[in-house]
């Protein structure tokens, strides 16, 4: 029996590159405060809720001197939410910085996500432990979870655990929701004068945790390259067999950053963009008509095959669906307390829901196949999100396109063959071995998080910028979490949350896609990106995503 694959063994020995300012070691980091900040929106509400951690200055690091206080600091780290490639390297970077500063410092990993700190379940890392996970994918080093850290009781318990372990700072590696909770914990600990700091790290394959200070969340690079490899392989199969239409749903939650990046990397015949659907108020019918039109036009050219990318969150952006889902959420919040409803068969549930929704929403709900109705009734996640990964939008679209084609055939307007394959790519990419970019970026984020701790900050997000340049030119620093916040309705109540970055329809990434999609639709412009490469020429191994290149105005290598 083998223990590790040759690549796995080689990756354990990879030396991730650090951001320039951190390359001289933690003892040579100097910090500079920039301008004071405020919240993106709803400033007064955010300031009131986070009065002790609100509005701090942006911080940048350089290697021009020694300004950090190297006093003994023990840290606890939490992996929160969905897996994203590179999480292990954030912990490795954090560990190395901690030990360089003072070998007596300790790093604890809380097990199973935020619940680990509440229940006091943790491990202490040592060299051997960390070395077994360097540059590997997954979050299995300590596990992850979606417990929402937000109640007074949870904060009290977390504080007790930190006091028992003599922990001075907590690093939370998470997406927008987890970092919102990191900020709540930072505020609570500061208000209580505990001296315990909280620092966040921007994680999520979805790519929706980004703004002027955070160029991209980690994991997006590797996950999109992995999906692009798979989509490219399918395109080659479709182009060889010439007999299937492949409908591929791509993970990414609400935003379509993943779908857009994969579309630019592979150039499929169709790629739907949820944000565009919402902006143009496209109905489900008009989306299906658009897909049908491409299928028919390709059939006229003798091409009864193709590839369509469907974003995971599409259903929530179709105006009539969005309105119906919002009403359904409110209704389910009430019905879930009714035992008779909870124990009823699905058919009965549909009837009850249909009778309680208003006329228009009931019409939309009733028009859906039972499969989709059942998926819409599934539990929301702890943050109140519909679990879009469980809604088979790709199958819904296939059924509706088929119905359209049947009608067109009967009218003599379509003479092709439509044979479909449905796929969902999501979990395939979240734990992939991190690309060189993610390995380096994550290591820098973790290392940088400890520099922020030594700078005495709390309620900050680790920030590494200038990411399309070589790592030696990456800029490291920190940004107050409150700077990214606004108020949004969750579970019917206004709550402070980090604003999600959706695809900007006037931005360079969407524009690039928009300018080319007609060509992709009818002429086969497929690109086959192949697998992520870890060793070899830099133009093959160290490329960033097209999204990042276009956003940073570097001529994209599309």
Task: Please give the positions annotated as active site.
Answer: 206
Residue ranges in 301-414 assigned as alpha helix (H): 319-335, 339-343, 346-356, 359-366, 370-376, 393-410
Backbone angles phi, psi at 308, to 5 degrees: -125, 130
Q: Are strands 306-311 and 270-271 parallel, antiparallel or unpaired?
A: parallel
81 binds ligand FBP (CB under 6 A): yes
478's enclosing H/E stretch is strand 475-480
Half-sphere exposure of 480 (CA within 13 A, CB side): 23
Please, what is the minimum distance in Å from the beta carbon of residue 376 to ligand FBP?
Answer: 15
388 forms part of the interface with ligand FBP (CB under 6 A):
yes
Q: Can you tell me whether residue 308 is helix, strand or coil?
A: strand
Q: How far is CA 14 from the centre of its chain?
A: 25
Of positions 96, 150, 206, 512, contacts ligand FBP by CB under 6 A: 206
Token pair for 327? 């009403």
- Per the listing, tokens 């990456």 go with 474
- Asked if 225 and 529 count as a contact pair (C-beta separation under 8 A), the reply is yes
1-20 residues in contact with ligand FBP (CB under 6 A) are: none
Q: Are 158 and 414 in contact (CB under 8 A)?
A: no
Is position 253 an interface residue for ligand FBP (rule: CB under 6 A)?
yes
- Binding string, 481-520, against ligand FBP, x = CB under 6 A? ----------------------------------------
Measured from the CB of residue 174, what is the shortest distance to ligand FBP in angstroms? 7
CB of 454 to ligand FBP, least distance (A): 28
Q: Considering only residues 82, 114, 200, 446, which one is a binding residue for ligand FBP as defined by CB under 6 A?
A: 82
Place of tokens 């009864």: 304
- Which one of 108-116, 201-209, 410-418, 432-440 is the stretch in contact with ligand FBP (CB under 6 A)? 201-209
389 binds ligand FBP (CB under 6 A): yes
Q: Does 205 bind ligand FBP (CB under 6 A)?
A: yes
Residue 250 contacts ligand FBP per CB under 6 A: no
Q: Which is nearer to ligand FBP, 314 or 357 (CB)?
A: 314
434 touching ligand FBP, by CB under 6 A:
no
Q: Choose between 204 and 256: whose C-beta lies nearer to ligand FBP.
A: 204
Choose between 76 and 207: whose C-beta lies nearer to ligand FBP.
207
Q: By C-beta, is 31 or 424 nearer to ligand FBP?
A: 424
Q: Which of 246, 298, 395, 430 binds ligand FBP (CB under 6 A)?
A: 430
Name residue, tokens 């395109």. Answer: 235
Q: Is the dihedral of CA 410, 414, 419, 421 positive or negative?
A: negative
Of 98, 88, 124, whose CA–CA distance to 12 is shortest?
Answer: 88
Least Å distance, CB 98 to ligand FBP, is: 25
- In the complex with ligand FBP, which residue's Cβ is closer, 82 or 496? 82
Choose which of 251, 335, 376, 485 interacts with ligand FBP (CB under 6 A).
Answer: 251
- Cβ–Cβ contacts within 10 Å for residue 209, how many? 27
CA atoms lying within 13 Å on the CB side of residue 440: 26
- Spatial separation of the C-alpha atoms in residues 77 and 397, rounded to whole Å: 42
The nearest distance, CB 252 to ligand FBP, in angstroms, is: 5
- Least distance between ligand FBP and beta carbon 259 (Å): 11
Which one, of 172, 228, 173, 181, lies nearest residue 204 by Cα?
173
297-326 binders of ligand FBP (CB under 6 A)? 312
Q: Total binding residues for ligand FBP by CB under 6 A?
A: 14
If binding is defined by CB under 6 A, does position 49 make contact with ligand FBP? Answer: no
Using CB under 6 A as the criterion, what x/- string covers residues 161-180 for binding ligand FBP? --------------x-----
Sequence-distant (≥ 6) Cβ neighbours of residue 29 within 8 angstroms: 21, 22, 61, 62, 63, 66, 67, 68, 451, 454
Chain residues that interact with ligand FBP, rule: CB under 6 A: 81-82, 84, 175, 204-206, 251-253, 312, 388-389, 430
């Amino acid at each position: 029996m083998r223990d590790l694959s040759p690549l796995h063994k080689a990756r354990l020995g990879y030396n991730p590159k650090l951001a320039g300012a951190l390359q001289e070691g933690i003892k040579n980091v100097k910090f500079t405060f920039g301008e004071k900040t405020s919240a993106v929106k709803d400033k007064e509400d955010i300031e009131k809720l986070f009065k002790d951690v609100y509005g701090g200055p942006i911080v940048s690091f350089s290697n021009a001197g020694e300004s950090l206080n190297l006093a003994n600091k023990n840290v606890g780290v939490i992996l929160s939410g969905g897996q994203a490639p590179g999480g292990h390297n954030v912990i490795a970077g954090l560990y190395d910085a901690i030990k360089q500063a003072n070998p007596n410092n300790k790093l604890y990993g809380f097990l199973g996500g935020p619940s680990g700190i509440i229940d006091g379940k943790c491990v202490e890392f040592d060299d051997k432990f960390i070395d077994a996970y360097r540059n590997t994918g997954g979050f299995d080093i300590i596990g992850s979870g979606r417990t929402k850290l937000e109640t007074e009781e949870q904060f009290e318990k977390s504080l007790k655990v930190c006091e028992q372990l003599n922990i001075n700072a907590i690093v939370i590696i998470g997406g927008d929701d987890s970092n919102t909770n990191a900020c709540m914990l930072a505020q609570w600990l500061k208000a209580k004068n505990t001296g315990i700091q909280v620092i966040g790290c921007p994680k999520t394959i979805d790519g929706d945790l980004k703004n002027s200070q955070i160029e991209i969340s980690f994991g997006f690079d590797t996950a999109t390259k992995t999906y692009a490899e798979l989509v490219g392989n399918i395109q080659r199969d479709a182009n060889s067999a010439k007999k299937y239409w492949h409908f591929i749903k791509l993970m990414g939650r609400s935003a379509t950053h993943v779908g857009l990046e994969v579309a630019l990397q592979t150039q499929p015949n169709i790629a739907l963009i949820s944000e565009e659907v919402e902006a143009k108020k496209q109905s489900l019918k008009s989306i299906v008509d658009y897909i049908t039109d491409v299928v028919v036009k390709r059939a006229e050219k003798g091409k009864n095959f193709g590839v369509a990318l469907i974003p995971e969150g599409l259903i929530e952006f179709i105006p009539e669906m969005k309105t119906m889902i919002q009403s359904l959420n409110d209704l389910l919040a009430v019905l879930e307390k009714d035992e008779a409803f909870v124990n009823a068969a699905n058919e009965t549930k549909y009837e009850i829901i249909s009778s309680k929704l208003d006329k228009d929403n009931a019409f939309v709900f009733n028009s859906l196949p039972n499969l989709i109705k059942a998926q819409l009734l599934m539990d929301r996640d702890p943050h109140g999100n519909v679990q879009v990964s469980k809604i088979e939008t790709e199958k819904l679209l296939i059924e509706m396109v088929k119905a359209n084609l049947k009608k067109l055939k009967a009218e003599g307007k379509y003479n092709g063959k439509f044979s479909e394959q449905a796929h969902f790519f999501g979990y395939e990419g979240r734990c992939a071995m991190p690309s060189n970019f993610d390995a380096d970026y994550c290591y820098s984020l973790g290392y940088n998080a400890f520099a922020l701790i030594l700078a005495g900050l709390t309620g900050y997000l680790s920030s590494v910028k200038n990411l399309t340049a070589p790592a030696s030119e990456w800029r490291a620093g920190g940004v107050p979490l409150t700077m990214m916040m606004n108020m949004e309705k969750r579970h019917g109540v206004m709550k402070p949350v980090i604003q999600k970055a959706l695809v900007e329809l006037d931005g360079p990434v969407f524009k690039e896609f928009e300018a080319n999609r007609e060509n992709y639709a009818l002429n086969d412009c497929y690109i086959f990106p192949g697998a992520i490469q870890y060793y070899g020429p830099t133009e093959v191994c160290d490329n960033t995503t097209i999204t990042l290149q276009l956003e940073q105005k570097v001529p994209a290598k599309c």
